[in-house]
Structure 1
Amino acid sequence: MTSIFAPVRVGRYSLPNRLVMAPMTRSRAAFDGTPGELAADYYSQRAGLGLVVTEGTQPSDDGQGYLTTPGIYTPAHVAGWRKITSVVHEKGGHIFIQLMHVGRMSHPDNTPHHRQGVAPSAIAPGTGMFTAAGMQDIPTPRALTTEEVRQTVTDFRHAARSAIEAGADGIEIHGANAYLVQQFFAPSANTRTDEYGGSIENRARFAIEVLTAIAAEIGTDRTAVRLSPGTAMWGIDEGPEGPDLYRYLVAELDKLGLAYVHIMHQGNEALLADIRKLWRQPLILNRPGRPRDQIGADVASGLADLEAYGQMVLANPDFVVRLKTNAAMNEADPKTFYGGAAKGYIDYPVLSAKGDTSS
């Protein structure tokens, strides 16, 4: 049985523990996508986890969906992220920037070019999007041409190189939560008739091409992916072939030797067990809503190599210390999850040397 506090090798890095900060959108960047001034404090406060994975970060203008999310494709973005990575490294931490292209989960009011979203097919998700003018229906996206799909792969590759130039230790592709990569997986969002639609192999092609291109650019040992098999939200339905698509995808990605696969688990235990068998590199497992008394159970059983946590880490910058000392946890405040300034971002209290809390 392996302890959650035991060191582990992930890609080219030796991590001090097996706890991961899950990616969480916080919507506190500047309107041009440059990370906000408080972001360095936010991430460095949590550098005690074995790995910090950042909020979803768009690789292009087309990749943005929400207000004030960060980008990593311009010199200003690189400079902003360098401030963050440098302070995380000063505290001995490791940080992967998550690249998130939202695809059809976008609204023209929220993007720099104010164009409609792009997607595998011109199918609206059937939900709303918060904008500066309030909630609005997400319009029907424009279907990417075959050449534009290939250009999007190039956009991801450029963003990955930019992340490394900004000092990131690696990147995680967001292939989960109904965003662009998963939109290609789902027949409900992908009715293409070219090489990116139809069969399991074709619907997995975009994800494989993105990860292959990035691995060639920055190294397989700095390239990772997050998946959420079975996610059914915002019009995503992977259909009866969904589990087999993930078995095929993971087996193909295993050949690349990526740094890790990060699974946001939706409850299919048989599929999770198959992924564990198919994937020979480190596996990060995130079970949303996992109770505190179950932290470390998946590592101990051998089902995962690392475990990722979101809201508990958001509310407890000293998450690792609190676990080790069995100290009480702060409760996360949902009212401050998105937007705003310091409140609910960098002001959660930490334990003092005496074991009480201080801000």
Structure 2
Amino acid sequence: MGNIICCISSLVSGLGDSQVYFNRLKDAFSVESNSDFTRNEQLYFNVIKALKCNRVRYAVNTLEAILLNDPVDILAINTLFSLYQRLGESSQMFSSISRTWSYWGIGIPCDSSIAGYRALSLMEMNQIDEAERVGMQALSGEPGDVRAIHAVLHAMESKGRAREGLRFLRETEEAWSVDPAVMKNGSTLDHHLLSHKATLNMQLKQYSNAMDIVDNALAREEQFVEKGVLPGNEGMKQDLLRSDHINDYIQIFYRMELLGEGMGDRWSRVSRLLDATEKKILAPMDVVYRSILFSITGEEQKLRALLESQESEERDALWKEFALRREWRVGLSVAETEIKWNHVNGEDRMDVTAANPLISPCVNALLELNNVENAVVWALGTL
């Protein structure tokens, strides 16, 4: 189960080398007898294969089948949350949590985390007041719930309560910060919450404070990447940096540019950081953010690559291989997952950006218009 957890985490976040974990699982499931694996473990292997081929819809449906088997499977809920967020279907995530809500209770591992998922789902659904209420209620029982912290902070920021939001971040810093001076728990949301801290300062027109926060984070991650890359040790370079951090930098830099504050070489530094990450599943907004970055840095080849289909074709071929190799088709006979295995035409891929009516115009605008500011404004206007 450890390899399953690590592989899913790597595929979804870009942390670590997913291929290492996948090879271990493939070897284990390829043996003649796999009776030692539970039904859910077999289904998780199907989820991993689907994610490797960017068949996110298949992965989501299989994860929902896992929740039918075990409503308190926190790995399924956490993975579903990430995938539904990328699909832009937060209402589905809220429905999944609601269906399993009655099964949770005192004594069940991770019970204290579920309210935070619920609060964050409400926030994604733009039910701001309810998200803040549920988030504060969750924090009264578990003060270190970073998802509840994130939901409450979003509510404060969206309502223009910038000073209250900054005070709230200070009060909860021990729960989410990875700064050794204050850390007790730390979380992977550290960077994103720091970006909120920067944007809250921007709301108060404290631009120098905002850029100090961003510059410190950028310098820290550049040091992480430099120390993490070892000669001949492939995969380690991404262990310390999440690809999602790039989106945080881009949205802050772009807002500062609109305010007339030039970001200089920060753009190229972020582009180099992006080269040190590997994210298997690109959401539509990932494509938009990267389009903005590559247009500003002048990396036209990378910009064009966002619409190329070569990698998609390779994933289609891999999906067909998974479908044909009987020894890997474990778990497909269980009654809970009535999903056909022959999704090979690509309609359920998340990376079909060339046919996406929202994403393709954004990238094409940035390619065709050599005026960065006008192109970006036009592109964002299509969303």
What interval of TM-score do these two structures reach, taking the shorter chain for normalisation?
Answer: 0.3 to 0.5
Larger radius of gyration: 2
Structure with the larger helix share = 2
TM-score w.r.t. length of structure 1:
0.36
TM-score w.r.t. length of structure 2:
0.34
Structure with the larger strand share = 1
